[in-house]
Amino acid sequence: MSNNETLYSKRMKLADLIATDNNLLSILHRLNIKLGFGEASVSEICSRYEISTDLFLIICNIYSFHDYVPQIELLHKSDIADITGYLRRSHKYYKEICFPEIHNKIHILVKELDDVNRHLIDKFYDDYDNEVTNHFMFEENTVFPYIDTLLERDGFSDNKFSIVKFEKNHSNIGEKLNDLKNIIIKYIPEEYSSNIRFEILKDIYAVENDLRKHSLIENKLLVPLVEKLEKDYE
Amino acid sequence: MNRQEKLKILLIEPSEIIATGFKEIVGKSHGFEIMNTISTPGYYNTMQSKPDIIVINPTVINYNERFDIRSYFCSNGENISIVALTNAGYEENVMRQYDGCINIYDNTARIIQKLHSAVEEMQQNPKNELNELSTRERDILVAVAKGKTNKEIADEFNISIYTVISHRRNISRKLGINSIPGLTVYAIMNKLVDMSDFN
């Protein structure tokens, strides 16, 4: 989206945000915001669902405007739990909806291939799947609980972990997805069906885009907020 | 290429002063013929006009768009030497795309020499495998697919680690594949290595 569009604001109707960028639907899905909200404004919906309006707007703006720089000062310690909550639900969305869908389609694709290629693509995808699962598991079992303790115990933590370490270890799960895309576009020979490949590519592009926004939320919102929290308690 | 024939040059230079000067100097020396002068690349069809050399002012190209100059002019694998005409210094990764670089302060002899060596370079080292791997790149890809480290590859081919890294970067750029598992898939699919190497 072009950079001279106006960012979203709390007085806008939620329906108008969706009309501007339908990718925002996946955010509503994750935040369990029910459809049928009529003419309600962003701030009305946020207070009904007890979500911070500023946080909601920042997330929507991150999704829609590619050069948007979030105003982190608008967020507080109290928003951290909501961010991790959002990220957890977004993992669930990837794990339960996006990736299984891609996996099913890959399954259809490989059925057509000869033995060697079938084995190759299957293995490549399975390895990727494991990598993603491990990536999410690390965040859910190590990073988020660390943040929870930090919030609960009011800063006391004997954990040697720190959010900067997380940022450093934050592996790039987009790389292999991009490789897979090129293998499907360029290197699986022409004689194999293109229809299923078009479908897979559409899904990969969508999940790639969503993952990019997801990691922006982690790196531009979560990490700086937790870093600040760590400093406050030092 | 028949050396008796004149080498045809397409000049892409927005400055009329420089373009006129270039035509004056190079057009008069035998062996070269300026076939056309345009101010921007636009949609110039190199297929039809078939120049041997394109001399281009790099400023007409927007590098922010990561414009790959060779794929722009030689998308059908034409062997055209591409020479930069400039008075400024460019980063190495920009200049690497060119087969030569003429500075506007170069004298006639130097200019002619640079044009000749750009053409020779192209004849000895055809680049129409733009998106295909060179033999060396293919060998290195096989080694990478087999799981060898950069150090092992450097020792095996007797080249420096930096050269290995640079080859790997070029391989990934050409194929659009960055991860080692992805490169392995490519190598097996194209029968550069055998599945049995992995069991």
| Residues A63 and A94 grouped into a single domain | no
Same domain for A57 and A94? no
Domain B7-124 has CATH 3.40.1190.20: no
pLDDT value of residue A4:
45
Are residues A89 and A56 part of one domain?
A: no
Q: What is the mean pLDDT of residues A182-209?
A: 92
Domain boundaries, chain B: 7-124, 135-198
Helix axes A115-138, B180-189, angle to 10 degrees: 170
- Per-residue pLDDT, B76: 65
- A87 and A145 fall within a common domain: yes
A82-114 pLDDT tens trace:
999 999 999 999 999 999 999 999 999 999 888
The torsion region of residue B92 among left (phi > 0), alpha (psi -120 to 50) and beta comes to alpha
Residues of B in contact with A117 (CB under 8 A): 189
Collapsing DSSP to helix, strand or coil, B152 comes out as: helix
Q: Classify residue A8: in a domain, yes or no.
A: no
- Angle at the Cα of A154 from the Cα atoms of A149 and A159, rounded to 5 degrees: 40
**Residues A221 and A175 grouped into a single domain:** yes
CA-to-CA separations, A120 to A129, A191, A218, B140, in angstroms, rounded: 14, 17, 33, 20
- Among A72, A97, A122, the domain boundary falls at A72
The per-residue pLDDT for range B113-163, each reduced to its tens digit, is 999 988 887 777 665 555 678 888 999 999 999 999 999 999 999 999 988
Which of B175, B179, B185 minimises the CB distance to A120?
B185
In a domain, A1, yes or no: no
Residues A64, A24 share a domain: yes
Q: Is A186 on the interface with B (CB under 8 A)?
A: yes
- A157-174 pLDDT, tens digit per residue, is 556 678 877 776 666 788
pLDDT value of residue A206: 92
- Domain count along chain A: 2
Tokens of residue A232, six digits: 């406050």
Q: Same structural domain for residues A67 and A89? A: no
Averaged pLDDT, A210-221? 90
Structure tokens given for B125: 């080292």
Last residue of a domain, one of A72, A91, A117: A72
Tell whether A186 and A227 lie within a shared domain. Answer: yes
> What kind of architecture, by CATH, is found in domain B135-198?
Orthogonal Bundle (1.10)
Q: What is the ipTM of this complex?
A: 0.78
Determine whether the interchain pair A179/B188 forms a contact, defined as Cβ–Cβ distance below 8 Å.
no
Among A72, A90, A111, the domain boundary falls at A72
> What pLDDT is attached to residue A136?
92
Amino acid at B82: I
**Is the pLDDT reported for residue B1 higher than 90?**
no
Is A162 a domain residue?
A: yes
Nearest C-alpha of chain B: how many angstroms from A176?
A: 6
Over chain A, what is the mean pLDDT? 88
**pLDDT for residue B91:** 65
Percentage with pLDDT > 70 across chain A: 92
Query: What is the rounded distance in angstroms from the CA atom of residue B5 to the CA atom of residue B9?
Result: 12
* Domain hosting residue A60, numbered range: 14-72
User: In terms of domains, do A44 and A93 share one?
Assistant: no
